[in-house]
């Protein structure tokens, strides 16, 4: 079974799709600054936000940098692309991204019955600890020190590792209780698996069927042999986000008049309906980063900014070593109580 791509790999795939569509038949030596600006224009036309466009253009530049390092391209190609600066706010009527807001706790609790057991546990742990989505997706037993009363999770990959920072996440009694059933004998296996969630779903369907148990197919035996997207052995940020999105759609149910077009729908009515559907999704479907913001808001309100900074893994150059050690002690006390 093929594993799903990492979050960053998926970001590169998304960046390369419009590049291939527009310039797939263009010789690489002919791809210069004007072509890159054309690609940026296409990303804008697709509705991507300005900051996301800038990040994706940077990834395209990284691809060409790799080509130069491997001596597949002349250095002048990459140097020319560096001349294309990022879009500034207000430039080219580019859409600005909305700030990430905390998700109301009622919206979190509302979907727990509509997601798989692994996804439910991931949501609950993230809400307790304020982990980044990528950090919880990559949890393995070998990265968790369970010897003390307060467990310590050290992700192998995290957002600030390229700055030389070490990320340590404290797991208190509540988080430990959630995690314990997922600990595996193979300590290098990922704790939370879409493949495992799919097996559980099929077993539940099989147990609930009305056909006598000694008749019919066994769980999973009547699946299509080829699937467009086989469930992976671990969640990535994209699959975790999809699991939450599906849970939101099941829990809150978009009104039928927005979800399905009537037979006699006019172009003007379609435009209005789609706009209302987008607003409904924005109001009801939340994503994993919002959980981190919800946890951060609660931690800061209750325990102050300094301790929350360490729990959430935020780093600033002005923090001295002594100052950081005091915060770590406070963070450990807090997570022993609330996490």
Per-residue burial over 59-71, b = 16 or more CB atoms within 10 Å of its CB, e = otherwise: bbbeebbebeeee
pLDDT in tens, 64-117: 999 999 999 999 999 999 999 999 988 878 888 777 788 999 999 999 999 999
Shortest CA distance to 8 belongs to which of 42, 47, 57, 59?
A: 59
- Which residues, other chains included, contact 250 with Cβ-Cβ below 8 Å and sequence gap of 6+? 111, 114
Residue 193 has a CB neighbour count (10 Å cut-off) of 20
Cα separation, 153 vs 148, in Å, equals: 12
pLDDT category, 319, cuts 50, 70, 90? very low
pLDDT in tens, 166-194: 788 999 999 999 999 999 889 999 999 98
| Whether the predicted pLDDT of 131 surpasses 60 | yes
DSSP β-bridge partners for residue 140: 190
Q: DSSP letter for 170, please.
A: E
Q: Which domains does the chain have, with CATH numbers?
A: 7-93 (no CATH), 105-222+233-284 (1.10.443)
Cα separation, 94 vs 110, in Å, equals: 35
Percentage with pLDDT > 70 across the chain: 80
């Amino acid at each position: 079974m093929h594993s799903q791509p990492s979050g960053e790999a998926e970001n590169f795939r998304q960046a390369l799709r419009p590049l291939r569509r527009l310039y797939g038949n263009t010789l690489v030596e002919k791809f210069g600054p004007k072509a890159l600006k054309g690609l940026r224009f296409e990303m804008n036309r697709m509705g991507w936000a300005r900051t996301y466009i800038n990040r994706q253009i940077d990834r395209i530049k990284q691809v060409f940098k790799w080509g130069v390092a491997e001596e597949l391209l002349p250095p002048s190609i990459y140097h020319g692309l560096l001349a294309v600066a990022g879009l500034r706010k207000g430039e080219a009527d580019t859409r600005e991204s909305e700030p990430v807001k905390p998700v109301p706790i009622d919206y979190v609790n509302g979907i727990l019955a509509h997601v798989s057991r692994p996804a439910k546990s991931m949501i609950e742990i993230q809400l307790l600890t304020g982990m980044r989505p990528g950090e919880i997706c990559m949890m393995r037993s070998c990265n968790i020190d369970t010897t003390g009363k307060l467990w310590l999770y050290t992700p192998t990959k995290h957002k600030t590792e390229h700055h030389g920072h070490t990320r340590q996440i404290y797991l208190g009694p509540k988080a430990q209780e959630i995690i314990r059933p997922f600990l595996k004998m193979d300590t290098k296996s990922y704790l939370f698996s879409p493949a495992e969630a799919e097996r559980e779903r099929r077993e539940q369907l099989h147990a609930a069927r009305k056909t006598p148990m000694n008749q019919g197919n066994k769980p999973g035996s009547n699946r299509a042999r080829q699937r467009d997207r086989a469930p992976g052995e671990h969640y990535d940020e994209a699959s975790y986000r999809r699991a939450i999105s599906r849970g939101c759609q099941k829990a809150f149910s978009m009104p039928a008049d927005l979800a399905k077009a009537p037979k006699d729908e006019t172009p003007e009515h379609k435009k209005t309906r789609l706009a209302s559907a987008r607003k409904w999704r924005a109001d009801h479907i939340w994503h994993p980063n919002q959980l981190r913001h919800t946890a951060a808001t609660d931690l800061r309100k209750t325990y102050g900014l300094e301790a929350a900074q360490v729990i959430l893994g935020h780093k600033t150059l002005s923090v001295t070593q002594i100052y950081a050690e005091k915060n770590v002690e406070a963070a450990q006390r807090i997570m022993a109580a609330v996490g």
